[in-house]
Amino acid sequence: MKYLNIIVEGNSEEAFVNDVLVKHFASLNIFISARKIKTGWDKLNNKPAKGGLLKYIKFRNDVLRWIESDRNQPQFWYTSMLDLYAFPKDDLSPYKDNIQLISDPYTKIVSLETAIAQDINHPKFIPYVQLHEFEAFLLVNPDKLITMYPNEQTGINRLKGEIENKKPEEINESIQTAPSKRIIKYLPDYEGQKAQVGPLVAEEIGLTALRLNCPHFNDWITKLENVT
């Protein structure tokens, strides 16, 4: 029996892990816990603030705290689910200029994950950064958006036309053309419904289709399936 602890960036990733990955990995005798990055203190509600990744050090500290709390027990593994889109570029971040300037997205993301792994420096931590954000999953099969937006077939068709012949993970991180921005362009209501709609549509598309169409994501899932 193995335990896999996943630090996630926000609500969408947390819901996806709990609704899709937990079931898949339970069948492999790997049990998953997910939690959002602790980003500070919510004074209004007097509790930890969670979600979002504005500074790399918040993520780093949270990973190391979780590892330390488990006292290096051999059955525990750790990973992340973060977006490349708006990944921190501050002085403490491993996302340095030499990585940012890499044009091929797959080379870039592997280079960044390698740098994160070196920074965390723990043998049972497997970093994962999503190309380029969670909504790439929805672009695997935009037709599934109709389940949440039954009156928006025209917008969905326009979205499909815009991304025709593009691989979901290669749709970029521009502020105008990142995956979520493209969806919002044609389905404006999605902007305020990301955390609820995104995971539901990704679940509807299914893990098999996501793996077939998102090779970097598939590589990550394969690594996690083979933890020993």
pTM for this prediction: 0.94
3-class DSSP state of 17: helix
Q: Where are the domains of the chain?
A: 2-133+208-225, 134-206
DSSP state of 153: H
Over residues 68-108, the pLDDT tens digits come to 998 878 899 999 999 999 999 999 999 999 999 999 999 99
Over residues 180-228, the pLDDT tens digits come to 999 999 999 999 999 999 999 999 999 999 999 999 999 999 999 999 8
3-class DSSP state of 177: coil
Give the closest residue to 76 by CA, choosing from 115, 126, 120: 126
